[in-house]
Amino acid sequence: MLYRGGTNGYGCFRIPVLARTAAGTLLAFAEARKSPSCADRGDIDLVVRRSTNDGRTWGPIRVVTSGSPADPDAPFTRGNAVPVVDKETGKINLITTSNEATPTGKRLPWIQQSSDDGLTWTPPRPLGASFDGTNNGWFATGPAHGIQLETGPHKGRLIVGAHQKPNSTTVLAGVLYSDDNGDTWKASEVPNSYVAGQLSPGEIAVAELPDGALYAAARNEVTDGPHRAKAISTDGGTTMPAFTTVPSLASPNVQGSILPLRQTYRTTPGDVLIFSSPSDPDNREELKIRYSLDRGTTWSSPSKGLITNERSGYSDLAELTGGEIGVVYEGGVSFSADEIRFTRFTPGQLGLPGTTRGTPSPQPSTPAGPTTPDSTLEANDAYLRGNASLNDGLLLDGNGDYAEVPYTRTLDPGDRDFTISTRFRYSATSTSPNQVLFWGYGVGADVPQVWLRLQPGSDQVAAWVEGKGGHAYVTLPAPDAFGDSVWHQLTLTRTGSRVDLTVDGASASGTGVVGAVSAGVTGLRLGAKQDATASDAFTGRLGNFSLVRNGAPSLNLAFRTVDGATVPARTPAPITDDMSGHCAAGRLLGGKQSPVAGRASNTVALPVNTAHPGVETPFSPTLDLGAGDFTFAVWFRYSGSADQAIVWAYGTTSGKRSLWVRAQPGEDRLFAWVETESDRVSIPLEDRSSSVAFGGDQWHLLALTRTGDRAELSVDGGTPAVATGLTGSVSADQADAIKGLRLGSKMDGSNVMQGAVDDFRLYHRALSAAELTAAATGRFPSDLPKLWWTFEGQYTQAHDVVQPITGPQTSDASVHCAHAAVSGNPAVVAGKVGNAVQFDGVDDAVYMPYKPSIALGDNDFKVSTWLRYTGTADQVIFWAYGVGATERALWMRGQPSQDRLLVYLQTDTGAFQAAAQDASSGAGFNDGNWHFVEAERKAGMLTLSVDGTQLGSTAVSGSVTYGDTFAVDGFRLGARPDGTNRLTGTLDEFQIRRGAALAAHLPLNAAS
């Protein structure tokens, strides 16, 4: 599994794309969608995982592109990846599209390039091509891998599939192409392929046929009829004819991928064309491989082509070393995109026709397990086997313990020069057995291999380096083979045919190595021989193991950190997205249920009933209206004779701030109430129609507005009921038990609607009478509201995520929606800036779940807060990521017993700490006064400052987070993750900055 929904801080992962680079590396791209709804629009990053051993192991999840053109940290939609490998230059061109995270702006294509096999990428630049010469309407690249033409007059041309819908009756489908290695791009000349109800091609995948023709495979986005379409260009994509349907290729309305096999064919490479997609004609399930022998005209199913019988969705294909076929696809038990999986098959295992030329790699996949990280970009992490652990290095007990670095192409020295370095410490006597420090690349007589043994009985260290054509054996004498319980530095170097062995400056050398020292797919084992019994096991410690191949670092194991492989628990998160982009998503009370028909045609609405009493969102800056103007607008319908709450906000306690609208059928009216700290008004609106209190299960638009001291309640843009004389704020005092917003019931669960709500909008201004009249016809103003729930299907979902917030929370004021859960019952009190949260030292805490914005990695950062505390025990200000001496972590404690504050950073390369000693009469700044504390990482230094003065610093390196699908904590305020070291004090204005960008901001002025 490459990506698991709801992990690594993302709501889900979708749209997998697979590319094989010129060097043979696999790149698996995906859209990392931050909302648990998994909707197509929103804050979406493009990420990649990388494999240099044909998918046997994969590197970390890395962000390729994020944010807007002006701000890489701003919420923005990035996706529709199409990687195309240029075999002439070795570069990878990555074509993508983007749009605003909110329903505004245009769809635009971009290009990035990698010159180092997908390790790093250039910033996106505009692609500058479209089918009609404009950026009008919908534009999308792929999503699927692109190609480079191998034959014909356009040999070397780079090609990616794309389509554009400038209006509702036009589909321009074809390819984008480059004849100058990706510097400039053009679009095919294409006709309109749209035929109402019959043909609407999109999501184009491309393949080169044996005769050099260009095959374009498309999703046919129609309700009924064949869901696959094709077109064939005979001029390398310069022009593309209109698409036609492919009735023989059964598929639901979903993307698919196409690949001509070059290593498995009947008579000519490419004459077996394969296709991947779900095979059920109506539902996204049963992903299957199909094949064509007639240039994609008709299609058949191989005897064993079913990849999964579960739910499935988008997919992509690549041909691997030796003719294997790799498939990356969306899959899940109940949700078709719950996971993104990778699997591989031989053509014979699938039952495909043709003969395979080549031998698949015999290397097995490595199952998940605890690893110690490689800090190079290659990420050749070592798996800890047996009871191997970290304690002042890699600690091995000689009884089945070792560390395994699986084979990757980047770990293989081949016939090139290399240097292996490590530190070791152990105890031995003349009777101690031989012990292996490391063994690599093979085992057995006349097999290329590299190993190093400690031989205490012979008082020597021995190294063997065997190439395909010759070997060198080197020994270095030392009493008990350095078994004196002291750290020693060892280096083994190959330079041409020469081998040098050095320990602590003493050296020995030998010659005779000829050819590659590897002949298969065996990696490195540290602490034992590479045989089935892990013989000659080492008892001792290894430190700082590194491999440099031909002058380039390929492996660096610091043995300071263990990354676990615990699969996190996930819980459904029933939400509806805030389409305004202001982080006020609504929680669906009672869970998600099937939607009902909406107010407008072809829309849906949220049903409300006793079991599902509406939708709510906690208090946040979006809801902080103060004494300003506002408009609450929502479509509603209901039936029944009991009072029913349509909108309720801020509070339910008599005499406290509140705002609400009830339907009161017994009095044939709607009734609104607005209460501030100094005033209250009631607004009854009678129903003068033949219905009762605007019920009868008919749709109506409710609007509650405030303009200065005037409050108005209207329905369907009609004459409002008015109350005047309103003064004061509806939300200013957060200590006044302020709450958030709920639609469909009172906040205590009573007065539940029996009906539905649709298209809720909150404006921080009063809409005019004319605007409300237009809104009643479905035409709202063009400016985005401050909160907007459409309740449309893809934005209203309940997918599984890690640590969803279901109870009280305090909101993030940044754009990243990193809201925090509140546990215990912390008091909201007067703070340094407005209000603050007071922790009682017993059970109070604030927890911000892990998010991409607060994954600090190896970036510069600042973590700051106002702090006021008392007491003599150690107390946690914040704690992030992991717990224990070998887990990545970042924390700050008050330590009055040592008269200091301490910040601690554990990365993949080491543990670092900076202390701020308290020079005042207090102990560790526990004097009950406000202090501004800030931990900063910048330019390789970690510093700790108090009240603007830097009091502690240390040099740092490494990454504090790692992108994968396993369990990791976010930021916890006021306690360790295990609940100890609790804070007795107050925090205010907690902020995290990653680089210069604000990653999270908890004002800590409310807990609702």
Give the model confidence (pLDDT) of 540-583 as tens digits: 999 999 999 999 999 999 999 999 999 999 999 999 999 999 99
Mean pLDDT of the chain: 96
Domain end position, chosen among 750, 765, 792: 792
Angle, CA of 806, 811 and 813, to the nearest 5°: 150
Angle, CA of 584, 590 and 595, to the nearest 5°: 80
For residue 735, is pLDDT > 80?
no
SS3 for 75?
A: coil
- The pLDDT of residue 921 is 87
Is 131 part of a structural domain of the chain? Answer: yes
Distance between CA atoms of residues 620 and 417, nearest Å: 60
Is 130 part of a structural domain of the chain? Answer: yes
- The pLDDT of residue 736 is 59
Is 1004 part of a structural domain of the chain? Answer: no
Q: How many residues does the chain have?
A: 1008
If asked whether residues 855 and 985 sit together in one domain, one would say yes
If asked whether residues 534 and 450 sit together in one domain, one would say yes
- The pLDDT of residue 734 is 52
Beta bridge partners of 560: none
If asked whether residues 827 and 817 sit together in one domain, one would say yes
Distance between CA atoms of residues 999 and 1001, nearest Å: 7
If asked whether residues 645 and 739 sit together in one domain, one would say yes
Q: How much of the chain, in percent, has pLDDT values that exceed 90?
A: 96
If asked whether residues 252 and 357 sit together in one domain, one would say no
Is 567 part of a structural domain of the chain? Answer: no
User: What pLDDT band is residue 423 in, cutting at 50, 70 and 90?
Assistant: very high
H or E element that contains 726: none
- The residue with tokens 């340094």 is 832
Q: How many CB atoms lie within 10 A of CB 359?
A: 11
For residue 841, is pLDDT > 80?
yes
- Encode 620-644 in three state secondary structure: CHHHCCCCCCEEEEEEEEECCCCCE
If asked whether residues 950 and 963 sit together in one domain, one would say yes
If asked whether residues 275 and 301 sit together in one domain, one would say yes
If asked whether residues 150 and 244 sit together in one domain, one would say yes
Is-contact 974 851, C-beta < 8 A?
no
Report the pLDDT averaged over residues 904-911. 97
Is-contact 735 1006, C-beta < 8 A?
no
Structure tokens at 63: 């962000």
> How many domains, in total, are found in the chain?
5
Distance between CA atoms of residues 113 and 723, nearest Å: 62
Distance between CA atoms of residues 877 and 853, nearest Å: 20
User: What pLDDT band is residue 606 in, cutting at 50, 70 and 90?
Assistant: very high
Domain end position, chosen among 337, 362, 387: 362
For residue 252, is pLDDT > 80?
yes
What's the CATH number where 7 sits? 2.120.10.10
Domain end position, chosen among 557, 582, 608: 557
Is 803 part of a structural domain of the chain? Answer: no
Structure tokens at 971: 């930021």
Domain around 840: 809-998
If asked whether residues 818 and 697 sit together in one domain, one would say no
Is 797 part of a structural domain of the chain? Answer: no
What's the CATH number where 729 sits? 2.60.120.200
Q: How much of the chain, in percent, has pLDDT values that exceed 70?
A: 99
pLDDT tens across 284-297, in order?
999 999 999 999 99
Distance between CA atoms of residues 816 and 581, nearest Å: 9
CB neighbours of 226 closer than 8 A, spacing ≥ 6?
A: 220, 245, 246, 247, 249
Report the pLDDT averaged over residues 718-737. 84
Half-sphere exposure of 825 (CA within 13 A, CB side): 1
- The pLDDT of residue 807 is 87
pLDDT tens across 160-198, in order?
999 999 999 999 999 999 999 999 999 999 999 999 999
If asked whether residues 769 and 916 sit together in one domain, one would say no
If asked whether residues 884 and 816 sit together in one domain, one would say yes
Is 568 part of a structural domain of the chain? Answer: no
If asked whether residues 823 and 940 sit together in one domain, one would say yes
Is 680 part of a structural domain of the chain? Answer: yes
pLDDT tens across 940-978, in order?
999 999 999 999 999 999 999 999 999 999 999 999 999
- The residue with tokens 């078709």 is 336
Amino acid code (one letter) for 924: G
Is-contact 486 427, C-beta < 8 A?
no
